[in-house]
Structure 1
Amino acid sequence: MTTARSWLASAQDSPFGVHNLPYGVFSTAARPGRRRIGVRIGDFVLDAGGAARAAGVPSVLLDADSLGPLLAAGRPAWAQIRAGLTAWLTDETYRNALSPLLVPVAEATMHLPFEVADYVDFYASEHHATNLGRIFRPGAEPLTPNWKHLPIGYHGRAGTVVVSGTPVVRPHGQRKAPTDAVPDFGPTRRLDIEAEVGFVVGTPSELGTPVPMDGFAEHVFGVCLVNDWSARDIQAWEYVPLGPFLGKSFATSVSPWIVPLEALEHARVAPPARDVEPLPYLDDRGGEPWGLDIAMEVRLNGHTVSRPPFATMYWTGAQQLAQMTANGASLRTGDLFASGTVSGPAKETRGALIELTWNGEDPVKLPDGSTRAFLENDDEVTITATAPGPDGAVIGFGEVTGRVLP
């Protein structure tokens, strides 16, 4: 089956063609106070609510100022609206009605697309976990005994999830180097990034009812990019015994576009072979695993420093969701859970500076002759990603960018 083509010229062979149609929330300089749901198509943002009205099928779900109502509506509504958008953007008869509703991407201000209910971050890359184990526990087994039995995660701070482009203020906290007698308080000296993929929950679940792996597609609306900024010196001092806290909670950046799960059907792959048999609630060997072939790129001040491959992740999004609710914890519309740092087997595929520089021992060299062990003030980090789509098409995720302020 050949994918339909849009009547919009810039959507032809674009990573934001009709095979993708990611959702976001935007405003314009002409009406800065009016936030609208937009759908990315080629080099434009389509006013989704206006498009529905122009097509004669107005939808209150698309007329909202946030994706929240659409997320809560559930998969049948998601599928119906996606089918409508595809029809309007591929049928020439809608061109005249929809063309005035197209806003150039450069003229759209993007906002946080949904209210984040809860935020959970996992630790699902074997390569990342192994590298950190070797850095901090040299000579010992790098993976903790539980790592291959369950997806490890921590519960983050939903209120500090920010949209791409939001500056990141260098956080303060307690720090204590191994040679210091006592801790001190001040700005982090080891500000880091973590290139991740995030999953956005739409349909909620009942308290006390776990969500099995085969419920993943019924509850997860779509996928975004995440930068889980990390203050490594603050984290190192505080995380024993309860885990990350102030070293993580100051900011988590997300991309403004949410790629629908349906757009990623051609990106599905089997995860790497596992050498420890998972318990039944995490065993995906008999079904269709939710590994995803997403190619990421990390740029520091415009220079590419890493290309992490999401297909190498040991634990999939479906397993992470099953683990997150295994104790009966409920899902809420707007829950965000992230994969943890995406890292591959080679140095140039590591998704965090702590790995790329081996805890600062081997700094990254930039084209201007400077080096970085960790981030300096005014540094800008951008994460982008693509995935395979139908008929050789490419799925784009946009970008998540943040600049460090003092």
Structure 2
Amino acid sequence: MSSPSWLNIHPESPFSLANLPFGIISQQSSVARRAAVAVGDYAIDLLQLSQGRVFDDEPQLKEHSGVFSEPTLNAFAALGRCLHQQYRLFIRDLLLEETSKPTLLKGNPELQRRAILPLQDVITHVPMAIGDYTDFYAGINHAYNVGVLFRGPDNALQPNYLHLPVGYHGRASSIQVSGAPVYRPKGQMLPAPGAKTPVFASSKKLDIELELAAFVCKNNDQGMPIPVNDAHNHIFGYVLMNDWSARDIQAWEYVPLGPFNSKNFATTISPWVVLADALEPFRTSLPGAPGNGKLLPYLQQGNADIGFDIQLTVDLVVERQVFRISECNAQHLCFSFEQMLAHHTITGCPMRTGDLIGSGTISGKDETSLGSLLEMTKNGQEPINPGMGLTRMFLEDGDEIVLNGFAGRSGGRVGFGDCRGRIAPART
């Protein structure tokens, strides 16, 4: 399938013209951080486009183009979804073979040299200044599987589970971009089943969590909830997320207030924010959702298609050998991100531009579609065998986990790029 762009974009690229995700880049030759868009194997430097007066053709875009010189996407996000879409479509037009603006970039070799950078030559960064981070637990199959492990099938889901999006407040300061090392955490844990006294040691049950996450773009005043059917206007875009978890530390600490040190040491996100409008064509229903008739009015969302059809994968990389250990779909959530925002703010909690909310672990219904090693190994009782004689209960030092995901077909993929992290030994 030929590309509709004058740039060479591989049909299987997650960064097609249907996508154009935004991120923050720097270079070895220019450490200043600035905004960019990913397309094919390139990053389009938006600061260079702004300085090259590319946006001057559109007065509204020209007025706000200074946001692309900022070291985060917060100022751009705060412009709101209407302007996000206008900039995205304008940049898409610049890149079309039949562009309506042929002199601005296609016919400007000097600006191309400055603004079109090979992705392999840029350094990506956490795209937003994140003030707060909340992780939900909306993966219904994951919640059921974990409940079965610890409470049995009759009590797997807690009585509140299908009435509200369960969540906990995470640690924003330990959110890191794809590629950053994940240091094995230390903490208190019980040395063996049935033990009563904890020991202090490096975690032996280091786990993954396959998640989607959304960035907030629009504030709400304290005391003013976000209505569920207006919540889409508060969502900037989406990333992949791995909420690394130390299951042995978690098992000891979580009573009575839930996760703490078992979750606060690292959370990895993909560097490119897929704008909310880019994912709208892939809306679909959530089969496990409780449905409006079972929800209190403030969580009843008007549209039946409240989720996304996004294919998700988890790869384990050991000594350069890649093993696919899970294939799943984002349809296995039971609450939408709009419902998560509505519930988060129903007390009047103020959200701020750059706040991050995670979906919780996404798992399918069969053994090949699980989003955590906790489920895959039944809490370390049954090792997985990815191939070549390799076995794993939980992650070992040197292991690398790569999450990936995309919606759409060849030639029009809307994807996130890698969300990867390699386990490094605990620091002393």
> TM-score of the superposition, structure 1-length normalised?
0.95
1:393 to 402, 406, 412: 412
- The answer for the alignment partner of 2:13 in structure 1 is 14
Alignment of 1:15-30 (within 5 A): 15-30=14-29
Contact 1:11 1:41 in 2 (8 A): no
- State the 1:369 CA deviation: 1.3
> d(CA) in 2 for partners of 1:216 and 1:303?
38
Structure 1 letter corresponding to 2:275: P
- The answer for the alignment partner of 1:298 in structure 2 is 314
> d(CA) in 2 for partners of 1:359 and 1:181?
19
Q: Answer yes or no: is 1:135 the counterpart of 2:164.
A: no
Q: Would you say how many aligned residue pairs link Structure 1 and Structure 2?
A: 401
> d(CA) in 1 for partners of 2:164 and 2:120?
43
Q: Summarize deviations over 1:113-150 as a string: whole Å, max 9, x none.
A: 11111100011011100000110112542100000100
Give the stretch that moved more between structures: 131-140 or 375-384. 131-140
Q: Secondary structure at the match of 1:166?
A: coil
> d(CA) in 1 for partners of 2:306 and 2:46?
29
Contact 2:235 2:276 in 1 (8 A): yes
Alignment of 1:270-281 (within 5 A): 270-272=285-287, 274=289, 277-281=294-298
The CA RMSD measured in Å over matched residues stands at 1.8
Give 5+ residue unaligned stretches, structure 1. Answer: none
Alignment of 1:156-305 (within 5 A): 156-176=170-190, 177-272=192-287, 274=289, 277-284=294-301, 286-301=302-317, 302-305=322-325
- The answer for the alignment partner of 1:78 in structure 2 is 84
Contact 2:288 2:333 in 1 (8 A): no
Contact 1:289 1:316 in 2 (8 A): no
Give the stretch that moved more between structures: 116-125 or 208-217. 208-217
- State the 1:393 CA deviation: 2.2
> d(CA) in 1 for partners of 2:290 and 2:85?
37
Contact 1:195 1:342 in 2 (8 A): yes
Alignment of 1:59-70 (within 5 A): 59-70=65-76
- State the 1:275 CA deviation: 5.1
CA gap of 1:139–1:400, structure 2 versus 1, over 3 A, is closer
Structure 1 letter corresponding to 2:112: S
- State the 1:273 CA deviation: 5.1
> d(CA) in 2 for partners of 1:121 and 1:29?
34
Alignment of 1:43-58 (within 5 A): 43-54=41-52, 55-57=54-56, 58=62
Q: Answer yes or no: is 1:326 the counterpart of 2:371.
A: no
- State the 1:38 CA deviation: 1.0
Q: Summarize deviations over 1:150-174 as a string: whole Å, max 9, x none.
A: 0100000000000001100000111
Contact 1:253 1:402 in 2 (8 A): yes
CA gap of 1:64–1:342, structure 2 versus 1, over 3 A, is same
Give 5+ residue unaligned stretches, structure 2. Answer: 57-61
Q: Percent identity?
A: 40
Q: Which of structure 1's runs of 4+ aligned residues deviate more than 3 A?
A: 11-14, 273-276
Give the stretch that moved more between structures: 77-86 or 230-239. 77-86
Structure 1 letter corresponding to 2:45: D
